[in-house]
Amino acid sequence: MSAAATHLPRRTFAIISHPDAGKTTLTEKFLLYGGAVALAGSVTARKDQRATASDWMELEKQRGISISSTVLQFDYNGYRVNLLDTPGHKDFSEDTYRVLTAVDAAVMVIDAGKGIEPQTRKLFEVCRRRGVPIFTFMNKCDRPTKDPIALLDELEQVLGIGAFPVNWPFGNGPEFRGVYDRLEKRLHLFERTKGGMREAPVQVLGLDDPAIVSRLDESVYRQGRDELEMLEGAGAEFDRASVLAGQITPVYFGSAANNFGVQLLLDGFLEHSADPGPRRSGERMVQPSDPSFSGFVFKIQANMDPKHRDRIAFIRVVSGRFEREMTVVHVQSGKRIRLSSAQKLFGQQRETVEEGEAGDVIGIIGHDMLQIGDTLADDRSVQFNEIPQFTPEVFAYLTNPQPGNSKKYRLGVDQLLKEGVVQQMEVGAGQVRTPILAAVGPLQFEVVQYRLKSEYGAESRLEMARWRDLGAAVRGIGLDRRLNPRDVTLGSPR
């Protein structure tokens, strides 16, 4: 890694969406355009193509869902990009929320045929609460979409955020040919490539260029021009400060699958989004420019890859510089630990990280004491409190049907609890207390059982607990019967 490369400005963000809106596809296409992979699909690997899937990714494959979050880092166009993928399924919103504490911006993918869906709305709310600037990608414009103007209205009406269309679609569904960049005042007309594996060839023209006639239907061209005139007539100017304040979302139209508009989104996002932001430690804000190192653990994952059966704590660097072999204070225990085994991940591959700075995400291996929410810092008075606690919605008893196997069972359960896959609490009073698992959604229990078996060789038996049986546990976690268990509420930070 060259010295110059280490001083690239950072962009640390997540892509959020309702399942199936195209988050995975867009991630792949960012990697393709970012030069991080030669062919789309080779790293995140589509659900049905995973060559070296880890055991629990096997579960994702079976269920056709995305459970685990991946952190990808690449350099592009003068930036070092940390892209945090998040699970879209609502049962994993806890994991997603934690990931969002580590980002400085988000790209919200919307299926332009469907508009704003429930999970998008929830995730949007979390970003807004955290003051994270949001960029919007209206995906799947190669299929019939809602009226683009209506989509902008929906952002304003449903999410309550102002929308500024940075680019505008020309053609809809099968007629979709490209987008007009309203800031650069150029029309980008794309061609499809087979399977969208390679970058889409593009022709960039002025709106009055006679060459347009050969590429666009007269009616498509007319409609695009009329709509643009209408937008210009509305008189709104692009205002980066409003974007960074979370009042306006820049909107990009395109098709991730066909690579239409992907590069414009990536370039626009990197240019206009936020630098790494500060994080709160008690009464003070720790600034990225603070020279002393600090960071917090926002995610723990074990057994990500059968080739590496170990545990990784993902750390967002908040300030200072990370250097391999450095010794820092683990603030929660007061112990000094040496960060010798730092890795960055790229799909299934790993690479040792030598250094990092504010905004970067690094994976630390082999420190079992690290827990979600923990702070690592030079200065032991720093303690971040970024990670929200969640109100569980579903509860279950988990038991071990094979007493002879209790060591493996216990080990597995302990590890999965440390990862925050589910929470554990106790019901009953006095001596008779039974542990009970609590989660935001039932799929989390399924992951626990699946992972116990595949990673620890431990069978388990699960019995869902009824809400009304949970008196003591419920009081123990500060809920009461007035609260509808269906309302996911973000609790106060630990």
Q: Which amino acid is at 10?
A: R
Residue (24 or 371) nearer to ligand G4P, CB:
24
Out of 35, 39, 46, 230, the only residue in the binding site for ligand G4P (CB under 6 A) is 46
Let me know: does 439 contact 392? Beta carbons within 8 Å: yes
Q: Is 311 in the site for ligand G4P (CB under 6 A)?
A: no
Out of 13, 14, 16, 22, the only residue in the binding site for ligand G4P (CB under 6 A) is 22
Residue (99 or 470) nearer to ligand G4P, CB:
99
Q: Is 25 in the site for ligand G4P (CB under 6 A)?
A: yes
13 DSSP 8-state letter: E
Phi, psi of 424 (to 5 degrees): -120, 140
Q: Is 88 in the site for ligand G4P (CB under 6 A)?
A: yes
Residue (12 or 66) nearer to ligand G4P, CB:
66
Question: Which helix (H) or strand (E) is 106 found in, with range?
Answer: strand 105-111
Distance CA 85, CA 106 (A): 10
Phi, psi of 467 (to 5 degrees): -50, -45
Residue (193 or 424) nearer to ligand G4P, CB:
193
Give the angle 341-344-350 at the CA atoms, nearest 5°.
85
Nearest approach in angstroms of CB 24 to ligand G4P is: 3
Q: Is 257 in the site for ligand G4P (CB under 6 A)?
A: yes
Nearest approach in angstroms of CB 112 to ligand G4P is: 9
Span of 14-22, 127-135, 328-336, 354-362 interacting with ligand G4P by CB under 6 A: 14-22
Q: Is 261 in the site for ligand G4P (CB under 6 A)?
A: no
Out of 10, 13, 14, 24, the only residue in the binding site for ligand G4P (CB under 6 A) is 24
Out of 140, 311, 330, 451, the only residue in the binding site for ligand G4P (CB under 6 A) is 140
Out of 6, 8, 19, 488, the only residue in the binding site for ligand G4P (CB under 6 A) is 19
Residue (47 or 128) nearer to ligand G4P, CB:
47
Span of 23-31, 144-152, 211-219, 286-294 interacting with ligand G4P by CB under 6 A: 23-31
Residue (258 or 303) nearer to ligand G4P, CB:
258
Residue (140 or 177) nearer to ligand G4P, CB:
140
Nearest approach in angstroms of CB 70 to ligand G4P is: 12
| Pair of tokens at residue 167 | 């680019």
Q: Is 177 in the site for ligand G4P (CB under 6 A)?
A: no
Bridge partner residues of 338 (DSSP): 327
Nearest approach in angstroms of CB 255 to ligand G4P is: 3
Q: Is 139 in the site for ligand G4P (CB under 6 A)?
A: yes
Tokens 């072999």 correspond to 325
Nearest approach in angstroms of CB 101 to ligand G4P is: 21
Out of 11, 13, 16, 20, the only residue in the binding site for ligand G4P (CB under 6 A) is 20
Query: Chain centroid to CA 419: how far?
Result: 17
Residue 463, burial from CB neighbour count under 10 angstroms (0-12, 13-18, 19+)? exposed
**DSSP strand E in 375-465: where?**
375-377, 388-390, 394-399, 423-427, 434-439, 461-465
Give the binding-site size for ligand G4P (rule: CB under 6 A). Answer: 19
Out of 142, 305, 357, 419, the only residue in the binding site for ligand G4P (CB under 6 A) is 142
Nearest approach in angstroms of CB 142 to ligand G4P is: 5
Nearest approach in angstroms of CB 200 to ligand G4P is: 11
Residue (117 or 239) nearer to ligand G4P, CB:
117
Question: Which helix (H) or strand (E) is 16 found in, with range?
Answer: strand 10-17
Let me know: does 32 contact 24? Beta carbons within 8 Å: no
Nearest approach in angstroms of CB 259 to ligand G4P is: 9
Residue (254 or 277) nearer to ligand G4P, CB:
254
- What is the Cα Rg of the chain in Å? 24
Q: Is 192 in the site for ligand G4P (CB under 6 A)?
A: no
Residues 48-67: x where in contact with ligand G4P by CB under 6 A, - otherwise, as a string: ------------------x-
Residue (22 or 320) nearer to ligand G4P, CB:
22
Q: Is 255 in the site for ligand G4P (CB under 6 A)?
A: yes
Could you tell me if residue 221 is left (phi over 0), alpha (psi between -120 and 50 degrees) or otherwise beta?
alpha
Do strands 434-439 and 423-427 pair parallel, antiparallel, or not at all (unpaired)?
A: antiparallel
Distance CA 38, CA 198 (A): 8
Let me know: does 60 contact 66? Beta carbons within 8 Å: yes
Give the angle 227-230-236 at the CA atoms, nearest 5°.
120
Nearest approach in angstroms of CB 109 to ligand G4P is: 6
Task: Give the three-class secondary structure for 370.
Answer: coil
> b/e map of 159-183 (b: 16 or more CB within 10 Å)?
bebbbbbbbbbbbbeebbbbbbbbe
Rounded to 10°, the helix 55-63/443-456 angle is 140
What is 322-335 written as a DSSP string? EETT-EEEETTTTE
Query: Chain centroid to CA 214: how far?
Result: 41
Interacting residues toward ligand G4P by CB under 6 A:
17, 19-25, 46, 66, 88, 139-140, 142-143, 255-258
